[in-house]
């Protein structure tokens, strides 16, 4: 089955700086790569996703890049703000069955 590795497990950045979280996946058949943000006491919320026929996607301060050859994808957050503090999960899926999640990154924005 699919295996998704996520790094780092904890990331601390100064407010206003950029944050980058990286994931690798094992199944070359995977073609859908979402990123979820989870705030304390809440369910995960989809913030951006990318399909395998696209190399990069951007939505305001958030961007995701995908390298299918190397089987890795990354989340980039620019101009970080206090409200960006949360746990971020990457995931991969190759079909209808389900998502395989990474173990999460705790992002801390230092004032």
Partner 1 sequence: EAQVTQNPRYLITVTGKKLTVTCSQNMNHEYMSWYRQDPGLGLRQIYYSMNVEVTDKGDVPEGYKVSRKEKRNFPLILESPSPNQTSLYFCASSPRDGPYEQYFGPGTRLTVT
The site for partner 1 (CB under 8 A) is made up of 1, 32, 34, 36, 41-46, 49, 89, 91, 93, 95-104
As measured in angstroms, the least distance from the Cβ of 62 to partner 1 is 15
Give the residue with the Cβ less far from partner 1, 14 or 103. Answer: 103
| d(C-alpha 58, C-alpha 72), whole Å | 17
Cα separation, 45 vs 83, whole angstroms: 14
Task: Report, in Å, the least distance between residue 70 CB and partner 1.
Answer: 22
95 vs 111 by CB, closer to partner 1? 95
Q: Which is nearer to partner 1, 55 or 98 (CB)?
A: 98
């Amino acid at each position: 089955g699919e295996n998704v590795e996520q790094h780092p497990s904890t990331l601390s950045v100064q407010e206003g700086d950029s944050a980058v979280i990286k994931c690798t996946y094992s199944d070359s058949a995977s073609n859908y790569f979402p990123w979820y943000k989870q705030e304390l006491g809440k369910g995960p919320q989809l913030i951006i996703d990318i399909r395998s026929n696209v190399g990069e996607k951007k939505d305001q301060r958030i961007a995701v890049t995908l390298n299918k050859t190397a089987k890795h994808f990354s989340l980039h957050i620019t101009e970080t703000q206090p409200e960006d503090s949360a746990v971020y999960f990457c995931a991969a899926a190759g079909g209808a069955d389900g998502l395989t999640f990474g173990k999460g990154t705790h992002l801390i924005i230092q004032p």
